[in-house]
Structure 1
């Protein structure tokens, strides 16, 4: 029963230490795409630790589970895990608690997907009502929809034929290539499937509000996806153009005053206007590889006893 306990301890250490290390580091501001991958690896490693511990605890608690889990394993592998020794109520309770957590996680993810689908259908119906298609107009070919509105705004309407929606007030504010920069920003979200990251982080945060790593995961996803999309747009149209587009869309919302309602917007503008050189390609590769190794540690802990028995 040492391996399931070690996996639980490893999951707790990962959930506690990794977010603090990422919060203290300065490179995520410069490389949001790498930071997004690092956060996914941290959360994935935490969940993997719990899942593997659940499986091994269940194998220690019930002979039927043990037989199925190790059905194809050579002789001696089961003995290497010591699943039959000292399991008892602890193994049963751990397996049941982790199984309930897994079922709750699945329920939260399903709920978030259904809610997102409902929101998409509602917003799509509202858009069709406010901007109906003309006779003979192909919705798949319509990439830009202009709505009458006094407030500068722009957003991406997801669906089978995604479209950028811009209000007439935004068209009056956005000059030159600023509208193209906004389009590139929103296309960056769609291309990188940032909506799925936001859905997963929201589901985990709402399903386990007392777990700090999931709350931090949601907060960082909201911040980093915007930074990543800003970088994608600025590579095509320049940082100044993207910054001016952000100011044009948000200057009437009170975000640049002494008590901003959305502090992340002025932070994004300052970041665009005071760029810091990117990390070298070698360092980006090393950080990506290091993040990728984080989920590999639980697998190593889980498989080392079995591999040692085969040696």
Structure 2
């Protein structure tokens, strides 16, 4: 029972400590690397709990043990489930973690269902406001223009993705700024940021008291915007992206002393575009990427090291 308990403790410790460690890192310098590290940390936490559940079930029930350790010699089984080990705590742990896994699956399913329903409504509303007339083909670049007094632009993903831009945005933005908006939204689509947002929202909604999941949701929402800003900047320049952000948001009250609405991060994004932080060296970026990939390897090492040690010495 020692290995399942160690994995459970490692998962809990990572869930509490990792957000504090990552909060002190200067993630704004490399948002793509930061996104990767956050995903690796969350994967490590989930892997800890999944391995702890599997090994606890193997300790508690002979039938599960036969499947988990089917190809292993008996001395390996004795390391994980020594004779005389009480199965009550192992069974309780396995059932609790299995319930958490089912709850996670239910939250992800709910998020997918809600997203699909919302997209169907958005597409129906878009078709009602901007219908495709008989004999008229949809724009090859997926651009849809809506009549509106407020400048706005957003990406509508799906089988036929669309970039929706209002007429007020067309009047306010120049050609280069409009191209920057398009590149920003396509950056989201290429990187599949929508899936990251859905997964983070599902985990945080399902386990609101787990620090790593709440921080993951908050940071992902911010980092995907920074990553898309950088993607658009590489093609159209930082100034064009900054001007586009200002043009689309200056009427929303986000640039005052007390930013309002859901876009309070826009002033920071504009400042970052105008005065960009110094990027990390390629060697440093590679090192952080490799370090992030190693984080999920830690629970695997904890889980398999005792058995491999027995095989090696045997």
Shared fold, TM over 0.5: yes
**Contact conserved, 1:140 with 1:161, CA < 8 A, in 2?**
no
> Is 1:5–2:2 an aligned residue pair?
no
C-alpha displacement of 1:71 = 1.1
SS at match of 1:278: coil
SS at match of 1:106: helix
> Could you list the runs of 5+ residues in structure 2 that have no partner in the other structure?
none
The correspondence of residues 217-296 of structure 1 with structure 2, limited to 5 A, is: 217-261=216-260, 262-296=263-297
> Is 1:179–2:178 an aligned residue pair?
yes
Question: Structure 1-normalised TM-score?
Answer: 0.97
Look up the match of 2:106.
Answer: 107
The correspondence of residues 44-193 of structure 1 with structure 2, limited to 5 A, is: 44-139=43-138, 141-193=140-192
Quote the Cα distance in structure 2 between the aligned partners of 1:50 and 1:186: 35
Quote the Cα distance in structure 2 between the aligned partners of 1:147 and 1:104: 40
Quote the Cα distance in structure 2 between the aligned partners of 1:23 and 1:154: 31
Look up the match of 1:29.
Answer: 28
SS at match of 1:252: coil
- Cα-Cα RMSD: 1.1
Quote the Cα distance in structure 1 between the aligned partners of 2:58 and 2:265: 47
Distance 1:225 1:185, change over 3 A: same
Quote the Cα distance in structure 2 between the aligned partners of 1:167 and 1:21: 41
> Is 1:43–2:33 an aligned residue pair?
no
Quote the Cα distance in structure 1 between the aligned partners of 2:192 and 2:16: 27
Quote the Cα distance in structure 2 between the aligned partners of 1:140 and 1:169: 19
SS at match of 1:289: helix
SS at match of 2:280: coil
Quote the Cα distance in structure 2 between the aligned partners of 1:134 and 1:309: 72
Distance 1:136 1:87, change over 3 A: farther
Distance 1:152 1:280, change over 3 A: same
Runs (4+) off by over 2 Å? 82-88, 134-142
Q: Structure 1 stretch 48-57 or stretch 257-266: which is displaced more?
A: 257-266
Quote the Cα distance in structure 2 between the aligned partners of 1:74 and 1:197: 41
Question: Structure 2-normalised TM-score?
Answer: 0.96
SS at match of 2:165: strand
Quote the Cα distance in structure 1 between the aligned partners of 2:84 and 2:305: 18
Distance 1:139 1:108, change over 3 A: same
Q: For each residue in 1:84-118, what CA deviation from the matched residue of structure 2 results, as whole angstroms up to 9, or x when unmatched?
A: 44332111110010000000000000000010000
Quote the Cα distance in structure 2 between the aligned partners of 1:173 and 1:78: 69
Distance 1:194 1:84, change over 3 A: farther
